[in-house]
Amino acid sequence: MKMILCFIAALITITAADTSCAGSDHETLLLQLNQDLLRATENQESLPNPSIHIALRLSTRHNLLKETQYLNQLKTKFFEDIERTLNRNEPVVGRLALYVMALKSSCDDLHNASLTVGGKSQPLLTHLKKQLELEKEHIASGNRPLTNYYQYSLGILALCLSGVRVNPHVGHKLIHASLKSLFIHGDSESVDTVAMAGMALQCLKEADAVQPNEELDKALEKIKQKLVNSQRDDGHLGNEFSTGLAVQALLAMGNKVDECDKSMKALWSAARNGSYHNPMAISQTLPALQQRSYLNLKNKLCLNEDDTLTLGPTPVVLPGQTVTVQVEIEVIKADGSSSSFQIRVPSGTSLLETMTLLQQKRNDFKFKTEDSLWGPFLSVLNGEQARQSDRRYWHIASDGKSLSQGVKDYKIEAAQKITFKNTVY
């Protein structure tokens, strides 16, 4: 009897230890992130973002009216932007893939959707297949996609989730890139790209779309190991903004990532600290926090869905005491020449606002941005371009440390030196 009681006590202790990982504030945090994402659908300043819609549709709680309204915006504004891009003969595989996944998340009939390019109407999925073929041909001739492997993976994933056969040669290019560690961005491998490639290849594996399976299995094992090896001391995989996708990929590939996993604890901690205020960041993190991934779209039925999500009152931020901080901005052009500028701004000012203030004060500091799903993308600085279409970008660092946030999201909290360097990838 004593032995049985000891066993029961031990079992209770183990159970308590297992459940202690799920913080009591998790439901509150999930609700807040859901509401933040839903509130982002009311933003009329930029194009609607299919990633926001996908995350809302993957969530366990819904506001079906607002989701339908946002889907209609995607079908008009975002759809028209894709058509314009295609008619300019510019690559659009990533955005086209996300649009397909957004329609899939609402159980729309993808096979009846079409795009008109050059005066000719063709099915939406046909255009996605064509875009992937162009990307594949560019890999064959130039050893890299027209866009990048992240968008290439998204394209494969979207076709696969839609039940469309993916050209085996298209899949093999991604397998080869995975095995050869070609997902480089800047000086290191992109965790986001590794994660997206993992979900794309896992989908192909489940669809029996690629042969031989031995190569595919090797690629998936290598991707899993890379994601695990990318873990920092604080638990994040890559950084706090790549962890959501990385967790999604590990879940999709069959790894057990429960509430007690170090990476999940890191996600919850970052959510608790308010790190995820950019809608794109929330859209990649929210599914992971609910143990879901983009592969869950494959069998989505859209039946008997919860419809209890409401916005609630808008959070009020009370004004505090204004403290100004000194910021040095250094611009390093492609030829290595540099220039430096000084400005004082209120603590908490975004980097974009800081740059705008500096532009107003100095005639020799000018910049332009392009729209992206993550927010403003810095394209021109002091007359020099570094656009996504040129495979160049402005690498941004604070006191020598690379920023993981964009110019609109990064806040200047203390005196620092911000460096912009024109970089190729």
High-pLDDT (> 70) share of the chain, % = 91
310 located within any domain? no
Least confident window among 2-16, 26-40, 400-414: 2-16
**pLDDT tens digits along 223-241:** 999 999 999 999 999 999 9
Q: Which residue has the higher pLDDT, 341 or 186?
A: 341
Residue 196 reports pLDDT greater than 70 = yes
307 located within any domain? no
Q: Could you tell me the pLDDT band of residue 328, with boundaries at 50, 70 and 90?
A: very high
For residue 54, give the nearest of 245, 312, 242, 197 by alpha carbon: 245
Running DSSP on this structure, what letter comes out for residue 315? P
* Domain endpoint, select from 248, 279, 297: 297
Neighbours of 68 (CB within 10 A): 10
199 located within any domain? yes
- Contacts of 84-93 spanning 24+ positions with Cβ under 8 A: 86/115, 86/117, 86/127, 87/117, 87/118, 90/389, 91/131, 91/134, 91/135, 91/146, 91/147, 91/151, 92/131, 93/128, 93/131, 93/132, 93/134, 93/135, 93/146, 93/147, 93/151, 93/152, 93/154, 93/155
Look at residue 208 in the predicted model and tell me its pLDDT.
79
Look at residue 315 in the predicted model and tell me its pLDDT.
62
Q: Could you tell me the pLDDT band of residue 24, with boundaries at 50, 70 and 90?
A: confident
**Cα 418 to Cα 351: distance, rounded to the nearest angstrom:** 9
Shared domain for 235 and 356, answered yes or no, is: no
Mean local confidence (pLDDT), 161-173:
95
Shared domain for 231 and 357, answered yes or no, is: no
Domain with 332 in it: what CATH number? 2.170.130.30
Domain of 139 in residue numbering reads as 27-297
Shared domain for 288 and 344, answered yes or no, is: no
Shared domain for 81 and 193, answered yes or no, is: yes
Q: Is 315 left (phi over 0), alpha (psi -120 to 50) or beta?
A: beta
**pLDDT tens digits along 296-326:** 999 999 999 999 999 877 666 566 667 888 9
**pLDDT tens digits along 64-90:** 999 999 999 999 999 999 999 999 999
Shared domain for 285 and 379, answered yes or no, is: no
Mean local confidence (pLDDT), 176-187:
91
254 located within any domain? yes
18 located within any domain? no
Taking the alpha carbons of 74, 152, 235, 189 in that order, is the dihedral positive or negative?
Answer: negative
Shared domain for 395 and 335, answered yes or no, is: yes
Look at residue 211 in the predicted model and tell me its pLDDT.
66
Shared domain for 328 and 385, answered yes or no, is: yes
Shared domain for 189 and 244, answered yes or no, is: yes
For residue 169, give the nearest of 207, 204, 220 by alpha carbon: 204
* Number of domains the chain contains: 2
Shared domain for 291 and 328, answered yes or no, is: no
Domain with 235 in it: what CATH number? 1.50.10.20
2 located within any domain? no
Look at residue 321 in the predicted model and tell me its pLDDT.
63
High-pLDDT (> 90) share of the chain, % = 77
